[in-house]
Structure 1
Amino acid sequence: MSSVVVRAWGITLGLLTATLLAVAAVVRTGAPLPIVGFGLLVFVVIAYLSYRSGGRYEFEHEHARPFDSSEFPDVQRVVLDVCERAGRPLPRVVVMEMDAPGAVVGYDDGEPVVALDPLLPQIVGRAGIEALFAHELGHLGNDIHTDAVRAYIPQILGFCMFWLVFLAGRGPFVAAVGSLLFSAVTFIDDRRIRRIRYVCSLGIEPLALALSRYANRLEEYRADAYAAHVVDPETLAAALYRVAAIATGDNTEDIAGPIPWNADRSFRFSVFATHPSMENRVARLDCEIPTWASPYRPRQVA
Structure 2
Amino acid sequence: MGRRTLAVLIGLVVLAGYLGAAYLVYLVLAAVVAGRPDPVVLVTALLVGTLLSGYLSYRFGTGALLRSLDARTLPRERAPALHRRVDGLVGRMSLDRPDLLVASLGAPNALALGSSRRGALVLDVWLFRLLDADELAAIVAHELAHLEGDDGLSRAMVYAGVQTVVSVALVVAAPIALALTGIGRGLVWITDRPDNVALRVRAAIGALFGLAAFLVTAFVRARARRREFAADDRAAEVTGDPLALARALRKIERASTPRIGPFRIPIERDEHPIERLLSTHPSTDERVERLAERAKGRRIPVE
For the superposition of Structure 1 and Structure 2, which TM-score range results when normalised by the shorter chain? Answer: 0.5 to 0.7
Q: Unaligned stretches of 5+ in structure 1?
A: 1-25, 175-197, 250-258, 290-302
Aligned positions of 1:31-46 closer than 5 A = 45-46=52-53
Deviations 1:196-245 (A, max 9, x none): xx858332222111101111111111111000111211111111111111
Partner of 1:30: 30
User: Among residues 221, 224, 230, which one is paired with 1:216 in the alignment?
Assistant: 224
CA contact under 8 A between 2:99 and 2:120: conserved in structure 1? yes
Alpha-carbon distance in 2 for matches of 1:32, 1:58:
39
Shift of 1:88: 4.7
Letter in 2 for 1:238: R
Partner of 1:93: 100
Q: Unaligned stretches of 5+ in structure 2?
A: 1-25, 34-41, 183-205, 259-264, 296-303
User: Among residues 89, 107, 111, which one is paired with 1:104 in the alignment?
Assistant: 111
Partner of 2:276: 270
Letter in 1 for 2:175: L
Q: Percent of pairs identical after alignment?
A: 27
- Please report the TM-score for the alignment, with normalisation by the length of structure 2: 0.62
CA contact under 8 A between 2:107 and 2:126: conserved in structure 1? no
Aligned positions of 1:175-194 closer than 5 A = none
Give the number of aligned pairs. 228
User: Among residues 130, 136, 145, which one is paired with 1:138 in the alignment?
Assistant: 145
1:53 to 1:281, Cα distance in 2 relative to 1, 3 A: farther
Letter in 1 for 2:221: R
Letter in 1 for 2:111: V
Letter in 2 for 1:220: E
1:269 to 1:45, Cα distance in 2 relative to 1, 3 A: same
Deviations 1:31-53 (A, max 9, x none): 869xx999999865541123436
1:169 to 1:222, Cα distance in 2 relative to 1, 3 A: closer
Larger deviation: 93-102 or 267-276? 93-102
Partner of 2:252: 243
Aligned positions of 1:258-297 closer than 5 A = 265-287=271-293
Letter in 2 for 1:223: A
Shift of 1:142: 3.9
Matched, 1:60 2:83: no
Deviations 1:85-143 (A, max 9, x none): 44653211111221321211111897111111111111111111110111111112343
CA contact under 8 A between 2:114 and 2:153: conserved in structure 1? no
Shift of 1:166: 4.1
Letter in 2 for 1:66: T
1:276 to 1:108, Cα distance in 2 relative to 1, 3 A: closer
- Please report the TM-score for the alignment, with normalisation by the length of structure 1: 0.62
Q: Alignment RMSD, CA only?
A: 4.0
Alpha-carbon distance in 2 for matches of 1:45, 1:282:
38
Say which structure is richer in helix: 2
Letter in 2 for 1:201: F
1:161 to 1:119, Cα distance in 2 relative to 1, 3 A: same
